[in-house]
Amino acid sequence: MARSSRLRISIFAVALASASAGAQNPPPRITASDSAIIARELAAWDALQKNDSGVAFRRIVGNSPTVVIVGPGGITRVSAAEMGRRITVNCDRRRNPIDSARVDRLSRDVVMLSYKVTVEGRCGSDTAWTTTRMYSMTVWAREGTRWRLRSQGYTALGGFSR
């Protein structure tokens, strides 16, 4: 199946998952520009899964001089290139499906994407593959005609399983 077909199917699946989210906090309708942000996030995950932290990853997220990462280990500030390198050098990924994606427009040029992601991978000296479910939030800012990753936050959803 062609990569663009898989991406369209993934976007459609994300849209369906978002449409069926809980009635307490129903998501707004996904627009074409929302779909483009979701597609960009999926492409970033895909590049990391393929261990392509170089040109492909930086082309997707923009070569931001500083990306703020907030996670269980604290707050770090790294370049987009360093962020990709740290992940792909230390970890192997099998799958990174996302669901329940929601795009919130903070301004005309800033959006926040929140979703659940299930990461299957192994890092460091681990030989066993693990599955980690997380909540994730990404802030994208448009600079001129390009979108750039500005911040990423995540937290584990129910811990780890093997």
Q: How many domains are contained in the chain? A: 1
What's the rounded Cα separation, in Å, for the pair 116 and 82?
A: 24
CATH code for position 61: 3.10.450.50
Look up the domain containing 50 and give its range.
3-161
The DSSP element (H or E) to which 126 belongs, if any, is none
Backbone angles phi, psi at 64, to 5 degrees: -60, 135
What's the rounded Cα separation, in Å, for the pair 144 and 156?
A: 34
| Per-position pLDDT tens, the chain of length 162 | 444 444 344 344 344 344 444 445 555 566 777 888 888 888 888 887 777 666 777 788 887 778 898 988 899 998 887 887 777 767 777 777 888 899 999 999 999 999 998 888 887 777 888 888 889 999 999 988 888 899 999 988 765 454
| Alpha-carbon distance values, 136 to 9, 100, 102, 118, 126 (Å) | 21, 11, 11, 10, 23
